[in-house]
Amino acid sequence: MHRILVINPGSTSSKVAVYHDEAEASGARIEHAHDEIARHTHVTDQYPFRRDAVLGFLAEAGLRPAELSAVVGRGGMLRPIPSGTYGVNERMLAELREPGEREHVSNLGALIAHEIATRAGCPAYVADPVSVDEFPPIARVAGLPGFERRSLSHALNQKAAARRAAAALGARYQDVNLVVAHLGGGISVSAHERGRMVDVNQGLDGTGPFSPERAGGLPIGDVMRMSYSGRYTYEELFRLVTRRGGLLAHLGTNDAREVERRIAAGDEHARLIYEAMAYQIAKEIGLMATVLCGDVQAVVLTGGLAHSEMLVGWIEARVGWIAPLSVFPGEQEMLALAQGALRVLRGQEQAKEY
């Protein structure tokens, strides 16, 4: 049996768990005080208290670092890399300590994993970070030289859901074509061609459907006029697009359950906005189906919003003709991280070098 510590830092909390092979033995969501986070200018400044919180979790679980077989952290904003499990090395650590514009809280996953693994005398890994990039050249081309379409997505949950969907079809992930939509606070929709994620919308600050918090694709001319209006700094506009858009901008809430309560109470504006989000998700699924030339074995919905029967029903009504729908509500990122490490520990894969 392998004991694997999994670390997944989020904006205001850190998810941690110990897996015995693929079974979660203990887990916790460690909430971090807003004041504690706000006093730090850079994400890397949060490292000491987040590391100590993970060590505290281990102590409460009665587990010493020396008992661990591996530590795996959420991969951060690394350079574009193929999918897989990567050993944490000095090059990766150096980039995550000085990320520049690629600053993101998920960067802390590898840093904390490395320190604890060093104490434990075991390997540290990351698996399927947000920068997973398996685009062919044609998918990168943008409409102006100097611009390039980038692969930044919920790759970890996308890949995990794709493997589950392939298994449900009685096939290997490497042998099927799928369109996978991760529906969460951000939304990413991707085309998977025989084990490779060959296209995806840039959901954080680029294209695709709006989401509970993100604006999605916007008319570029209007964005340019907004940028030069003098009403916003760069930081304010970026936050508006990435954290204050979508459902939150239209309805004042990013909680889909609240939106559905309003719809049930007869709020027609809430219904319009919520159904428009489903409409845009369905459009993006159709777009990704064209990437695969219509050869799609399943359309896969995953993420927190996939719990919504209303939203899923609206999407299925528009995309059901493409392929059968597979729905895996929620996200299995912690298990997916553990499985990434486990495949290496069992010799099923070789850890890649960053």
- Across the range 211-233, mean pLDDT stands at 95
Instruction: Indicate whether 311 pLDDT > 90.
Output: yes
pLDDT (0 to 100) of residue 208 = 96
Compute, in degrees rounded to 10, the torsion defined by CA atoms 101, 284, 170, 172: -40
At 106, list the tokens.
């998920």
* CATH placement of domain 155-329: 3.30.420.40
Instruction: Give per-residue pLDDT as tens, 140-196.
Output: 999 999 999 999 889 999 999 999 999 999 999 999 999 999 999 899 999 999 999
Q: Give Cα separations from 135 to 138, 151, 172, 352 (angstroms).
A: 8, 7, 21, 18
Q: Give Cα separations from 315 to 28, 40, 55, 281, 307 (angstroms).
A: 33, 41, 43, 7, 13
pTM exceeding 0.85? yes
- Across the range 317-340, mean pLDDT stands at 95
Counting residues of the chain whose pLDDT is more than 70, the rounded percentage is 100
The C-alpha atoms of residue 49 and residue 35 are separated, in whole angstroms, by 13
Instruction: Indicate whether 332 pLDDT > 90.
Output: no
The C-alpha atoms of residue 216 and residue 281 are separated, in whole angstroms, by 10
| Nearest partner of 155 among 177, 125, 185, 134, judged by Cα | 134
pLDDT (0 to 100) of residue 103 = 82
The C-alpha atoms of residue 149 and residue 60 are separated, in whole angstroms, by 45
The domain defined by 3-134+333-353 folds into Nucleotidyltransferase; domain 5 (3.30.420)
At 318, list the tokens.
């528009």
| Nearest partner of 298 among 161, 204, 198, 111, judged by Cα | 161
Instruction: Indicate whether 13 pLDDT > 90.
Output: no
The C-alpha atoms of residue 270 and residue 247 are separated, in whole angstroms, by 9
* Domain ranges across the chain: 3-134+333-353, 155-329
Between residues 98 and 145, which one has the greater pLDDT? 145
